[in-house]
């Protein structure tokens, strides 16, 4: 079959690789100049590796990305990481049952209750039942009000904002279920991984159109796709099948002939965007070796501070220490209109509480933003997931909205690509 794929994120690339390997003629279209989607990276002078615009890693039980990396002969680095929590001005390691039992701000009974609750969630396979309940209502009753309000409630509010009361307990179950102390990362970064995958697709006869804006998708006898490519040139392509992997709100914009009832149903799926401020420092920021710091200070505008070079060696980045300050935000949040200097000015007093001397070591900053990064997986989300098949004949949708309850993640993007490829071949 002749198949067009919209989006060169890991879902699109995974589908393209599987289908091209099976002998289908594949063409991939991407608006950006590089592959990778939300895992795309950027380079700086004298760096050996690229760095993701938004923090990324995966877990050692993420079998789909591990299997794919092995198949395309891309080395994966596995390392123990340290996750900590900032509460009451104190950074405490909080990434294992032992660390929880040492947590200083809860009594032994409170720590034990939380530990048992998390263990029950982690090892309970019947997650579909949890989709009936709101996480923020059930969790305080399970793990205790004080523990929940101290550790988890600030993270829920920082991440989901106005949607905090809607989040399904199934989403939280998935987050706890997947956690591993050891994390994994592709050698060279996710951009190199994506480029390696692109080359394998090319070796199988696949083609790529980067820097190409998708104008319209329609379907009559054949599925058709219109793009505006380099230099403003408009082109039309015809395919037996088209797979669309971009966010649903973009899909709605490029498919004007969709029926109104389908548009309304898809339009009800909510999401958050993301901002990512990256600091480049001469010295480490989180001096205790923490990779991921959850910020649970109610007055702080920070949600998470992630020191990438406490996970991957700084030598790959010209001995710079790289720190992410990430947020998930609704599209109307003022952060989306701020400059990197505006944001640093806002965050600076709170960053100094963690490391008072960091400004002396600041080499530079990067700032990235995207309108879509996190689906709002509300109660009953499992029943809201759209089918792969759309009302447009031979046009299929497979994007981050389909990975419930697993939230986002490179592993599930790859699994989704494999699923839609299988569906295409069996249709």
pLDDT tens digits for 27-58? 999 999 999 999 999 999 999 999 999 999 99
pLDDT above 90 (res 317): yes
Question: pLDDT tens, 267-297?
Answer: 999 999 999 999 999 999 999 999 999 999 9
Residue with the bigger pLDDT between 221 and 402: it is 402
Share of the chain above pLDDT 90, in %: 88
Q: What's the average model confidence in pLDDT over 143-158? A: 94
**pLDDT number for residue 6:** 97
Average pLDDT, the chain: 94
Say if residues 210 and 32 touch (Cβ distance below 8 Å).
Answer: yes
CA angle 270, 141, 305 (to 5 degrees): 55
Q: Report the greatest alpha carbon distance in the chain.
A: 68
Looking at the domain covering 2-40+189-269+382-426, what would its CATH class be?
alpha beta
Query: How many CB atoms neighbour CB 236 within 10 A?
Result: 11
Alpha carbon distance 81, 183 (integer Å): 7
pLDDT above 80 (res 125): no
Query: 414 by DSSP, 3-state: which?
Result: helix
**pLDDT number for residue 76:** 98
DSSP 206: -
Q: Is 413 exposed, middle or buried (0-12, 13-18, 19+ CB in 10 A)?
A: buried
Question: pLDDT tens, 92-101?
Answer: 999 999 999 9
Domain boundaries, the chain: 2-40+189-269+382-426, 96-178
Query: How many CB atoms neighbour CB 72 within 10 A?
Result: 14
CA torsion sign for 118, 122, 126, 130 is positive
Question: pLDDT tens, 5-25?
Answer: 999 999 999 999 999 999 999
Q: What's the average model confidence in pLDDT over 229-233? A: 78
Say if residues 384 and 287 touch (Cβ distance below 8 Å).
Answer: no
pLDDT above 80 (res 214): yes
pLDDT above 80 (res 408): no
Alpha carbon distance 266, 285 (integer Å): 42
pLDDT-based confidence at residue 231 (cuts at 50, 70, 90): confident
Alpha carbon distance 67, 233 (integer Å): 39
Q: Is 134 exposed, middle or buried (0-12, 13-18, 19+ CB in 10 A)?
A: middle
């Amino acid at each position: 079959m002749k198949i067009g794929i919209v989006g060169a994120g890991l879902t699109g690339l995974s589908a393209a690789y599987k289908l091209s390997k099976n002998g289908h003629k594949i063409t991939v279209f991407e608006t950006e100049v590089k592959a990778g989607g939300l895992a795309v990276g950027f380079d700086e002078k004298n760096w050996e590796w690229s760095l993701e615009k938004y923090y990324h890693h995966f877990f050692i039980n993420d079998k789909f990305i591990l299997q794919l990396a092995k198949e395309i002969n891309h080395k994966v680095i596995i390392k123990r990481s340290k996750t900590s929590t900032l509460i009451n001005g104190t950074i405490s390691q909080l990434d294992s049952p032992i660390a929880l039992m040492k947590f200083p701000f809860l009594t032994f009974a409170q720590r034990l209750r939380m530990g048992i609750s998390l263990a029950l969630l982690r090892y309970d396979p019947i997650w579909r039942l949890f989709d009936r309940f709101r996480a923020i209502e059930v969790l305080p009753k399970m793990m205790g009000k004080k523990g929940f309000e101290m550790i988890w409630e600030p993270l829920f509010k920082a991440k989901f904002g106005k949607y905090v009361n809607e989040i399904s307990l199934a989403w939280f179950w998935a987050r706890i279920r997947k956690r591993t102390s050891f994390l994994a990362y592709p050698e060279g970064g996710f951009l190199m991984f994506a480029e390696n995958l692109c080359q394998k697709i090319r070796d199988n006869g696949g083609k790529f159109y980067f820097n190409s804006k998708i104008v319209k998708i329609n379907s009559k006898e054949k599925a058709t796709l219109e793009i505006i490519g380099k230099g403003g040139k408009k082109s039309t392509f015809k395919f037996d099948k088209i797979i669309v992997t971009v966010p649903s709100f973009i899909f709605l914009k490029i498919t004007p002939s969709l029926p109104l009832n389908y548009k309304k149903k898809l339009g009800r799926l909510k999401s958050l965007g993301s901002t990512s401020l990256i600091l480049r420092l001469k010295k480490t920021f989180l001096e205790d070796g923490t990779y991921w710091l959850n910020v649970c200070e109610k007055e702080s505008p920070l949600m998470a501070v992630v020191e990438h070079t406490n996970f991957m060696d700084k030598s790959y980045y010209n001995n710079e220490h790289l720190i992410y300050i990430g947020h998930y935000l609704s599209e109307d949040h003022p952060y989306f209109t701020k400059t990197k200097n505006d944001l640093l000015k806002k965050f600076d007093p709170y960053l100094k509480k963690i490391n008072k001397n960091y400004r002396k070591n600041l080499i530079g900053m990067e700032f990235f933003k995207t309108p879509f990064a996190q689906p709002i997986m509300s109660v009953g989300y499992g029943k809201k997931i759209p089918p792969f098949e759309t009302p447009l004949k031979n046009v299929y949708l497979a994007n981050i909205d389909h990975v419930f309850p697993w939230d986002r993640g490179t592993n599930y993007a790859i699994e989704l690509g494999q699923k839609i490829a299988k569906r295409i071949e069996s249709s």
